[in-house]
Amino acid sequence: MRLRVLGRLLQIQRVLVRHGLDEFILQTHLLRPLRYAFYLSPATWFERRKGGSRGERIRLALEELGPIFVKFGQALSTRRDLLPSDIADELAKLQDRVPPFPGDQARAIAERAYGRPLAEVFDSFDEMPLAAASIAQVHTARLRTGQDVVVKVVRPGVRERIERDLEVMYVVAGLALDYAREAYRLRPVEIVREYEKTIVDELDLMREAANAAQLRRNFEGSDLLYVPEVHWDYCRPEVMVMERIHGIVISEMDELRRRGANIQRLAENGVLIFFTQVFRHNFFHADMHPGNIFVQLEDPEYPKYAAVDFGIVGSLDARDQHYLAENFLAFFERDYNRVARLHVESGWLPADTRVDELEAAVRTVCEPIFNKPLSEISFGQVLLRVFETARRFNMHVQPQLILLQKTLLQIEGLGRQLYPELDLWKTAQPILKEWAADRLSGRALADQLRRQLPDLSEALRMLPQVLQQAVQQASQGNLRIKVDQPGFERLRAEIRAGARRRDATIVGAVTLLGGLVWLAVSFNPWPGAVLCAAGGIAIVLARRD
């Protein structure tokens, strides 16, 4: 284990001790004995237990540990059904109230990115941050055209901290594979690798600006979601400038009710937006915690979402999207046999899985929550049953779906806060049925054919040349067809091993026979005995190979 990783693990333990989170350390198997070094440290005696609730101490510890831990807290903050209220309240502060870095540093970073003073770029720039998050913070400014904008600036040193913590995550994932029996099924290294791509992409604000532009195009003219405009001329990898929008943070329920917002419609529209992004656009905002979602109330009866922070987006390949949609539809229709078969067909479960047994297990998990409002569903118990089922049937984690699953949990958490009576499944079912019908429509098939027509035309154009080359090679005896199937290499290896065993057996038999002949005709038995022994050993070894 590298010294830097060991040092970071020790630092994590020390932060937990300093904030009085001893119970978490007692449950940490890795480096557990080292906690005594902290208990015996005078610095720890004076720093430990400075007061405050357990929620506040957890929040402060996550803030001190850095961006990856803050994001973990943000994700947890949307699940008030799974957390005590005091912890959930404190973690909610991580959504947009992370301690900021000094405004003069933000100015310096922006001026370095532009290569000139900010006074030459903006008419005004407020060094007091409007909001601060784990990766970047936001300042208000005004363009020389008079338009109000927000300027997002990446935190100094954040890349180095993230790279260090990713290294720690890889080490812990490797230890899990070495020492935890079921880690292979959870695929921890692949999960960390998938997360690494997501978090590293978030550091490039040009990529975030491109994500915002795509999402804005997808919802152009929509009554569901507003995405602010990107000002490309002012965007750099460390700085992004967008239109400033105004609205009510979605977690401010009292204000929404005071303004007369239709809360039920707002909750249903949230589900509609999610499924539209995933199945119609195949491009979804994957960081839907309350700090990134606002509500515009020009018409309170028809409230409109407004989104910010587009650093994390997701999409699915066609195969995963198909199987996911089919699973949802089968669930809505309570066709648990189809759910079971789809899990096997998709490769998410081993091919030898008993479909009837899986069907019974899926029915056991799904029936208790079907057609119930969110307020009557205990997702803690549902998750426990899902994990138990996955373990029983040797289900492997699908890293490419983790971002989507996290987003769905966030959307469900928002829905629970907004309108606990929301029937998540009933709201989503019409969207998926419409999507499935559109996929099978003649127009969809025609569109797909039109998209593939250039490739098909190019293939047809190249076909005569390819056939001519194949015929010429065949006539010269040079035509080779490469067949690469799983198992062929193993078969070749077995054939080669069989040939080696055969040759060794023949050599051993000849040597043994020679030894016997020598013993029969010679007065000196030793060479014959040696030959017999060598031949016998060769035959035994050949049989064991």
Confidence of residue 119 (pLDDT cuts 50, 70, 90): very high
Task: Give the highest mean pLDDT range of 58-72, 189-203, 232-246, 313-327.
Answer: 232-246
Is residue 336 over pLDDT 60? Answer: yes
**Confidence at residue 229, expressed as pLDDT on a 0 to 100 scale:** 96
**Confidence at residue 14, expressed as pLDDT on a 0 to 100 scale:** 77
180: CB partners within 8 A, 6+ apart? none
**Token code pair at residue 147:** 């338009």
**pLDDT, average across residues 483-509:** 55
Q: What is the DSSP string of 73-117?
A: HHHHHT-TTTS-HHHHHHHGGGTTBSPPPPHHHHHHHHHHHHTS-
Q: What is the DSSP string of 472-510?
A: HHHHTT--------TTHHHHHHHHHHHHHHHHHHHHHHH
Residue type present at position 479: L
Give the position of tokens 């994001």: 71
Q: What is the mean pLDDT of the chain?
A: 77
Confidence of residue 106 (pLDDT cuts 50, 70, 90): very high
Is residue 51 over pLDDT 70? Answer: no
Q: What is the DSSP string of 116-154?
A: S-GGGTEEEE-SS-SEE-SSEEEEEEEETTS-EEEEEEE
**Confidence at residue 299, expressed as pLDDT on a 0 to 100 scale:** 93
CATH (residue range 103-156+204-314): 1.10.510.10
Percent of the chain with pLDDT over 90: 26
Is residue 494 over pLDDT 70? Answer: no
- Number of other residues whose CB lies within 10 A of the CB of residue 129: 20
Query: pTM for the whole thing?
Result: 0.70
Q: Are 396 and 451 in contact (CB under 8 A)?
A: no
Q: Which residues belong to the active site?
A: 287
**Confidence at residue 214, expressed as pLDDT on a 0 to 100 scale:** 96
**Confidence at residue 351, expressed as pLDDT on a 0 to 100 scale:** 84
**Confidence at residue 380, expressed as pLDDT on a 0 to 100 scale:** 52
Task: Give the ranges where 346-441 is alpha helix by DSSP (H).
Answer: 355-366, 379-392, 399-418, 424-439
Q: pLDDT (tens digit, 9 = 90+) per residue, 347-390?
A: 878 888 889 998 998 888 888 877 777 667 655 556 556 657 77
Q: Distance (Å, rounded) from C-alpha 512 to C-alpha 530?
A: 9
Secondary element (H or E) of residue 226? strand 225-226
**pLDDT, average across residues 253-281:** 91
Of 87 and 541, the structure prediction assigns the larger pLDDT to 87
Report the Cα 293 to chain-centroid distance in Å.
21
300: CB partners within 8 A, 6+ apart? 259, 260, 261, 262
Residue type present at position 459: A
Q: Map out the domains of the chain as residue ranges.
A: 3-94, 103-156+204-314, 160-198, 318-442, 495-544
Confidence of residue 239 (pLDDT cuts 50, 70, 90): very high
Q: Distance (Å, rounded) from C-alpha 261 to C-alpha 253?
A: 10
Cα angle 215, 221, 223; round to 5: 95
Residue type present at position 447: D
Q: Picking from 59-63, 228-232, 419-423, which range would have the lowest pLDDT averaged per residue?
A: 419-423
**Confidence at residue 324, expressed as pLDDT on a 0 to 100 scale:** 83
**Confidence at residue 124, expressed as pLDDT on a 0 to 100 scale:** 96
Is residue 514 over pLDDT 70? Answer: no
Of 490 and 248, the structure prediction assigns the larger pLDDT to 248
Q: Distance (Å, rounded) from C-alpha 362 to C-alpha 50?
A: 48
**Token code pair at residue 103:** 């405004």
412: CB partners within 8 A, 6+ apart? 374, 379, 424
Confidence of residue 141 (pLDDT cuts 50, 70, 90): very high
Confidence of residue 30 (pLDDT cuts 50, 70, 90): very low
Is residue 480 over pLDDT 80? Answer: no
Is residue 534 over pLDDT 80? Answer: no
Q: Picking from 169-183, 217-231, 303-317, which range would have the lowest pLDDT averaged per residue?
A: 169-183
- Number of other residues whose CB lies within 10 A of the CB of residue 378: 12
Q: Are 200 and 154 in contact (CB under 8 A)?
A: no
Is residue 430 over pLDDT 90? Answer: no
**Token code pair at residue 14:** 């020390």
Given the DSSP bridges, would you call strands 284-285 and 304-307 parallel, antiparallel or unpaired?
unpaired
Q: pLDDT (tens digit, 9 = 90+) per residue, 144-167?
A: 999 999 999 999 999 888 888 888
Residue 310: name the closest of 196, 403, 401, 201 by CA: 201
Is residue 31 over pLDDT 50? Answer: no
